[in-house]
Amino acid sequence: MARHHFSTYCIFLHFANNDTIDKQDMNRDSLGKICDFLNLIKMQCTAVFQPGQDVCVDKSLILLKGCLAFKQFIRTKQTRFRIKIFQWYTHNGILLDFIVYHGNMSQELLTTTEQEMLISEQIPIMLMQRLLNKGHQLFIDSYYTSPRLDQYFYRATLC
């Protein structure tokens, strides 16, 4: 596709009505304009494929060349600005669910009963909520590992 055609399409591509969004509200959702679109993608990811026994939770960084309030700056990379996404996928790499990191996510992730947990501990809990007590094995990076998270999953499997 030619660049000018792509630019023309992007002008007319909208996922939300701009007139209904209050630009002065400092507490508005950073992903509010594309929230419905992201939820549609998440529903399709979980509806199309049933995971096997082994599932993984990890973070991924997507290259960004535009302006965005919640971009991540990584000094050691050649392309320094990226978007962080926490993803849940099968051992084959098939994406099942994801969370886009967009700044202060503490209110969004506090869905667990253990509200004193760190955000890095809440991410695997939120992504694995559907598969608790169904015989799945979770593989996670050392970023998420903690004794509290181990105890939470151990108690969840006993219930």
* Span 31-67, pLDDT tens digits: 777 888 888 888 888 787 778 888 889 888 888 777 7
What is 33-45 written as a DSSP string? TTHHHHHHHHHHH
Comparing 106 with 105, the larger pLDDT belongs to 105
**108 falls in which pLDDT band (50, 70, 90)?**
low
Q: Is the pLDDT of residue 109 over 70?
A: no
CA distances from 101 to 13, 128, 131, 151 (A): 23, 17, 22, 25
Q: How far apart are CA 9 and CA 134, in angstroms?
A: 44
Q: Is the pLDDT of residue 114 over 60?
A: no
Give pLDDT, residue 66: 75
Give the pLDDT mean for 5-30.
Answer: 78
Percent of the chain at pLDDT above 70? 89
3-state secondary structure of 57: strand
**79 falls in which pLDDT band (50, 70, 90)?**
confident
Q: Is the pLDDT of residue 113 over 60?
A: no
C-alpha R_g of the chain:
18
CA distances from 91 to 44, 54, 106, 125 (A): 19, 6, 28, 18
Domain boundaries along the sequence of the chain: 31-158
Percent of the chain at pLDDT above 90? 0
Give pLDDT, residue 95: 87
Give pLDDT, residue 6: 86
User: Is the separation of the CB atoms in 42 and 67 below 8 Å?
Assistant: no
